[in-house]
Structure 1
Amino acid sequence: MIEWILTEWTQILGFATGAACVLLAARRNVWTYPIGIANNLVFLVVFVPAGLYASAALQVVYVVLGVHGWWRWTRGVEHDREYVARTPRRAVPWLIVAAVAGTALLTWVLATFTDSQVALADAATTSASLVAQYMLNRKWIENWFVWIGVDVAFVALSIATGLWIIAALYALFIGLCVSGLWSWRRVQSESTDAVPTADTRA
């Protein structure tokens, strides 16, 4: 048991910090960001040897987005724990374009410059994750739907690359995301005044 822990300690640490990060996000707790940044650094160490280069690079971008979200949840309108909002309609096309363009660009980069055997899947989950993280930073409730889709894909991708502990973590994430969606919807229904129906910010 001890030998297994010593061998897989990075995946175990990633499991623990990742689960805590999602749980805190579901509860709209700003501590999701510092713990999330720690989780990004752990996953960076895990993904590079597995050949998930886009997912590894994603962790670096996550750190930047983590700082952005940390600032918004402490300085922006999102600092109110009871605040959640619907995704503005004008933002939806841009989010889709960002996800598709990011997938195309990363697929080309991975296929051209790396030995990745899962270029398209790695690129697609990476791009969708960035979109989901930005939506979470803005406390747009639909971020949970994107995260659920990403986590389902990551379970399959992690199994395909032999990262069984990470696969279990993302399976747990799916349940936590469903819980987060339910929790945010409850806040939305209980505090309708805090949910702008004509939010035009992007």
Structure 2
Amino acid sequence: MKTNLLKSVALFAMVITMISFTANPIKKKTLDTKQSKIEWEGEKLTGSHEGTIMFKEGYLNMDGDKITGGEFIVDMSSIIATDLEGEYKQKLEGHLKSDDFFGTANHPTAKLVIKNAIKKGNDYGVIADLTIKGITKPVTFDLDMNADTATTELTIDRTEYDVKYGSGSLFDNLGDNVIYDDFELDITLKF
């Protein structure tokens, strides 16, 4: 009798556990790549440039209304300058795609993988791995999540990803050709 009671309790606990895991399954929120965007700004001693980069694909893992992970692939060959026109626009875009900067022929994508997201109101504190030019480094940022839109701002030190061209911290005697190491990303994700 005692053995049957223990078996019944164990079976009941197992059924409750299975129900709790299937009641709130992890769901993927797929990125709308046409509506999502990355706006970038890079500064140099004599001014700045700005533009956009498009997403190739991405998703958030959701447990109910909480982010539990995610992965985003960026199409680095889509990088454009929005502050220039004509010949200068083409030259800058070509230079950004060259090995001096992002080397898109050998590294056509960049990737962000969310490792942990801690909810703080509508915001999340996010710990992620960012891969650019095959180099992966941890990054942290706040992500604002409202319904089917998430936004964040990131500052990236390009030299950590072997993007060294014109870096005043790595090269001497650049004069007014210095390009600052940090670049700014303003990211809007639509789902």
Could you tell me the TM-score, scaled by structure 2's length?
0.27
Higher relative contact order (CA 8 A, sep 6+): 1
Higher strand share: 2
Higher helix share: 1
Could you tell me the TM-score, scaled by structure 1's length?
0.26
